[in-house]
Chain A
């Protein structure tokens, strides 16, 4: 049996050159980085593991101690270091998880997210923490995006107009409306305006393009109002001309002309 154990420890890998056997010296410091690639590898891994421990990056440290244990199953210290690191991970996770749950309960999604991320940085396989993060992300999407126009420059009427039945020849026009919306949503107002104005040159009766253009001018005005009031007023005037029945742009224009640059009372939707 002893023969077998010795074999397990000694074969299948060539021990680092000059590394003592477990029965003589358990210290891995004997590994000499200048003598062989395996010994140098061991030394590098050992340095990494200690560095991770100092940085409290326990998950990375645990993996590195585990690798060292695979390299040198004869060295008891590596097993002990791994076990100790695992204990520290368990303790840190036990401290973090309740804080994460408390933050989630009080609706503080960002704090809860960071706590769960901290848990997973320690224990990447922690399924409850991973599931909790997924649930938080669903909640975040529900709050911020679901059911809302991600391109909020678009008025409902503009979209509805764009969705009037069209034959295949007009499909590209419909794409233009979406593309202008995407551009405006990324703050590319002038590009969206250019695209829509070309549409209106081609078809002055294109109500969807006209109303979307009015909406983009409104958003452009909002982006300008704090730094260039006269340009913002000019953009709002265009918006009102394009869509005279839209009350919010007209109200904002009166507000700006009256001297106030406060934010609009009601966002355009």
Chain B
């Protein structure tokens, strides 16, 4: 019996490269070729301490221990590094250590950027008569390029659900891109740039607008939904302000109006597109308790306002903050809007 135990221990110890967790076939198919294994210096159920081999990268280490190279940020964030080095062992957290991102001096926030229209000019968004609401392709490209070069992670909006529940960390330098209304310029100008950088975005459309002048067509929406980059979600049916209620408006009529504006776009979008509608951007950014209650009953997970600021783990999922991006803002202003942490003044 004891011999068996000893043999078992030796066998386990001798395995320098632990089997990675099972991963989906699609992920496995794209996994990088693993370099020669480095050395495992220590291991528990929470951590692996790993000395990289020549050729190792954070992506290969993430693939080896975390099951997906796309989780390289887990290793990078924990060790405060952007690269693997044979002379510097790395700690690989196997379980979330601080998924809520709260530390003694600051806590993590995720900025959600809000765009509307795009234009083909090179200047400050004044190319087609709608001023600051139009982002030129040059400015949008510069913003995406800056995010890519400065190690920001453009994450899908849906990834916030687990972060807000405290279940999953998101990269320290996370940012979400959203685009409101459903202008045709999104397809013409923004989509090619999103494709170029491989960045995800959530497009909030109000369904009465689809097919109108300047608006996206159903065919374009289908193309975008099929891109794997653009998640099409609801921005109401008519774009009216949903907290607006005339004096004397009967409760039942108001309730029916909300029902139409909340359930209608979800049913329409899910019928016409390969999407699950779970997120809702409020027209004018305004909401009230009746609207939130209805969204919850209709199984919406996230609601988006236009109240400025980043979103901490304790943000109310149906009242997320967003940061407006305007066409005349230079890169310096754009950087200032990326609030990825807030300081704590601990008493």
Contacts and interface: CB of A to CB of B under 8 A. Distances in A.
B150 interface: no
B241 interface: yes
A150 B284 contact: yes
B320 to A, nearest CB: 10
B244 A67 contact: no
B133 to A, nearest CB: 5
B313 interface: yes
Contact of A137 (B43, B209, B316): B316
A124 interface: yes
A169 B313 CA distance: 41
A114 B104 CA distance: 10
A12 B288 contact: no
A140 B182 CA distance: 31
B12 A118 contact: no
Contacts of B181: 175
A140 to B, nearest CB: 9
Among B13, B42, B208, the one with the most A-chain Cβ atoms within 10 Å of its Cβ is B42
A117 B9 contact: no
Given A118-B347, A150-B284, A179-B133, A171 B12 contact: no
Contact of A169 (B39, B51, B212, B289): B212
B44 A38 contact: no
A124 B98 contact: yes
B213 to A, nearest CB: 6
B34 interface: no
A56 B120 CA distance: 53
A79 to B, nearest CB: 12
A130 B166 contact: yes
A149 B10 contact: no
Interface stretch (A185-193, A226-234, A258-266): A185-193
Interface string B251-293: 0000000000000000000000000000000011111110010
A31 to B, nearest CB: 12
Contacts of A55: 104
Contacts of B212: 168-169, 171-172
B88 A114 contact: no
Given A168-B211, A182-B324, A115 B347 contact: yes
Q: How large is the interface on A (under 10, 10 to 19, 20 to 34, 35 or more residues)?
A: 35 or more
Given A141-B319, A149-B286, A172 B306 contact: no
Contacts of B208: 168, 171
B345 interface: yes
Given A4-B6, A168-B212, A195-B130, A70 B14 contact: no
Given A121-B344, A130-B314, A145 B324 contact: no
B30 to A, nearest CB: 30
B71 interface: no
Contacts of B214: 172
A233 B323 CA distance: 32
Given A14-B39, A149-B286, A121 B346 contact: yes
Contacts of B292: 146
Interface in A121-169: 121, 124, 127, 130, 133-134, 136-138, 141-142, 145-151, 154, 156, 159-160, 162-163, 168-169
Contact of B314 (A111, A137, A149, A198): A137
Contact of B43 (A1, A13, A60, A168): A13
Given A12-B40, A124-B99, A159-B241, A194 B166 contact: no
A243 to B, nearest CB: 18
Contacts of A99: 347
Contacts of B86: 37
A30 interface: no
B45 to A, nearest CB: 10
A146 B289 CA distance: 7
A1 B2 contact: yes
A117 B344 contact: yes
Interface in B88-117: 88-89, 91, 97-100, 102-104, 107, 116
B84 to A, nearest CB: 12
Given A114-B347, A150-B305, A168-B208, A12 B12 contact: yes
B44 A121 contact: no
Contacts of B43: 12-13, 70
A128 B243 CA distance: 33
A120 B102 contact: yes
Contacts of B344: 114, 117-118, 121
A124 B100 contact: yes
Contacts of A195: 130-131, 133
Interface in B143-201: 166, 181
A109 to B, nearest CB: 12
A93 interface: no
B15 to A, nearest CB: 8
Contacts of B213: 168-169, 171-172
* 7 closest A-B pairs by CB: A11-B13, A133-B314, A147-B288, A168-B212, A12-B13, A163-B240, A70-B42
Interface of B: 2, 5-6, 9-10, 12-14, 39-44, 46-47, 49, 51, 86-89, 91, 97-100, 102-104, 107, 116, 129-133, 166, 181, 208-209, 211-215, 238-241, 243-244, 246, 283-289, 292, 305-308, 312-316, 319, 324, 326, 344-347
Given A12-B43, A66-B47, 12 more contacts: A8-B9, A37-B51, A38-B89, A41-B41, A70-B42, A130-B100, A134-B314, A172-B213, A178-B239, A179-B116, A183-B133, A188-B132
24 contacts: A4-B5, A4-B9, A12-B43, A13-B40, A41-B41, A66-B44, A70-B43, A70-B49, A115-B347, A117-B346, A120-B100, A120-B107, A124-B102, A137-B314, A146-B287, A146-B289, A149-B284, A151-B306, A159-B284, A162-B240, A172-B215, A174-B239, A178-B283, A185-B306
